[in-house]
């Protein structure tokens, strides 16, 4: 680990954006990325590495009519790298970015509402298989905080081929891995660094408590002099992860504040603790539409509404009630080979038994 934090290149004006994301290799893209860029060192049989391109970061805004390679759901301009793999009558696309506009729901937001299955990649990471938002066979993993989404565009690739492709991914610049791991989320995130970037209303997990696009969010690094007040009301460590960054939500949001805990390889393992805003909560918190398990449990004498996909890997989503029976906290976990039910319940118990429960 190093104290030298990562600084990536950005464009100063949205007018400087390319009409189409330029063809850049992974090595050329890494200096422009606020995430670790990966390349495969093995490909499915009879395929080759095709087009590689980078969408550069720029301040929010749109100039001209081109939307090629840009986010269709806002005028924000975060960075993203993509490459394709081509074979005879088949093709897939891999897209990489830092999912930093909200908690990356389920660690596989691109597979939302499809039935998903986890498969271990190594001793830490898992890949999720399912169907993506375009109806294509897809997969998703988070490695060293980089969201890596795969979509089969033409023909077919077997699940084994897709898993092996993920297992072959290697960072293009090892020195970037070290510097990025030393950089807190609040110093990396496009939305944290750019207060004019509009908030995106997206699912956060398996309970229907979404981030609202009418809110504004202020992020600070944990321990910074200007960190939001109330940080002392939560533990410095939770589930063996350290408090990384803290955010305050302003406006009619069901979330009052959020506390991001991170650790593991490349800070890729994560918990998000939300303090809920009673004034803006729905009358009843319903399950989201993504296939999952839902149950009521008791932890440290408190009612907890627990949702999960895979007992062995997560991800987990818990709504925690206070002593009066009101929803007060929400705790979400990323997916990992070690994020099993026992680990998550222990994190919940540590939170509540230490008298850090919401009041």
- CA-wise closest residue to 217 among 246, 244, 242: 246
Answer yes or no: is 65 within a domain.
yes
Same domain (yes/no): 103, 203: no
Same domain (yes/no): 208, 117: no
Same domain (yes/no): 37, 84: yes
CA gap 168, 187 in Å, rounded:
29
Phi-psi region of 109 (alpha: psi -120 to 50; beta: other; left: phi over 0): alpha
Q: Tokens at residue 208, please?
A: 């229907």
Same domain (yes/no): 220, 339: yes
Whether the per-residue pLDDT at 226 is higher than 80: the answer is no
Give how far Cα 263 sits from Cα of 181, 182, 183, 268, 291, Å. Answer: 9, 11, 12, 6, 28
Same domain (yes/no): 166, 225: no
Answer yes or no: is 64 within a domain.
yes
Check: CB of residue 91 under 8 Å from CB of residue 153.
yes
**Confidence (pTM):** 0.94
- Tokens 């690094």: give the residue: 221
Question: Which domain does 348 fall in, by range?
Answer: 199-353
Helix (H, G, I), strand (E, B) or coil at 58: strand
Domain-ending residue, one of 122, 152, 181:
181
Could you report the per-residue pLDDT of 7-60, keeping only the tens digit for each? Answer: 999 999 999 999 899 999 999 999 999 999 999 999 999 999 999 999 999 999
Could you report the per-residue pLDDT of 137-164, keeping only the tens digit for each? Answer: 999 999 999 999 999 999 999 999 999 9
Eight-class DSSP state of 339: -
Could you report the per-residue pLDDT of 295-316, keeping only the tens digit for each? Answer: 999 999 999 999 999 999 999 9
- Tokens 């100063």: give the residue: 12
């Amino acid at each position: 680990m190093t104290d030298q934090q990562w600084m990536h290149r950005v464009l100063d004006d949205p007018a400087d954006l390319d009409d189409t994301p330029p063809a850049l290799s992974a090595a050329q893209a890494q200096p422009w990325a606020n995430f670790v860029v990966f390349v495969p060192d093995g490909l499915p049989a009879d395929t080759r590495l095709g087009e590689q391109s980078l969408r550069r970061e720029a301040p929010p805004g749109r100039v001209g009519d081109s939307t090629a390679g840009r986010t269709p759901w806002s005028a924000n301009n975060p960075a993203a790298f993509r490459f394709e793999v081509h074979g005879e009558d088949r093709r897939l696309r891999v897209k990489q970015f830092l999912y930093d506009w909200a908690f990356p729901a389920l660690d596989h937001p691109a597979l939302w509402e499809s039935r998903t299955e986890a498969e271990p990649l190594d001793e830490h990471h898992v890949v999720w298989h399912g169907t993506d938002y375009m109806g294509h066979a897809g997969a998703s993993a988070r490695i060293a905080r980089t969201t890596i989404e795969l979509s089969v565009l033409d023909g077919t690739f077997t699940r084994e081929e897709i898993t092996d492709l993920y297992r072959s991914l290697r960072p293009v610049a090892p020195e970037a891995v070290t510097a990025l791991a030393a950089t807190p989320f609040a110093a990396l995130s496009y939305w944290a660094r750019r207060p004019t970037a509009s908030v995106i209303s997206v699912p956060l997990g398996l309970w229907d408590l979404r981030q609202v696009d009418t809110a504004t969010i202020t992020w600070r690094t944990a321990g910074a002099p200007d960190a939001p007040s109330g940080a002392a009301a939560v533990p410095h460590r939770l589930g063996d992860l350290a408090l990384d960054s803290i955010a305050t939500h302003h406006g009619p949001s069901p979330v009052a504040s959020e506390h991001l805990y991170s650790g593991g390889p490349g800070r890729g393992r994560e918990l998000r603790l939300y303090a809920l805003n009673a004034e803006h909560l729905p009358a009843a918190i319903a399950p989201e539409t993504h296939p999952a398990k839902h149950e009521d449990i008791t932890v440290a004498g408190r009612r907890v509404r627990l949702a999960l996909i895979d007992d062995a890997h997560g991800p987990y989503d818990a709504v925690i009630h206070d002593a009066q029976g009101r929803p007060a906290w929400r705790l979400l976990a990323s997916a990992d080979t070690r994020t099993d039910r026992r680990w998550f319940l222990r994190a919940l118990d540590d939170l509540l038994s230490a008298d850090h429960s919401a009041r």
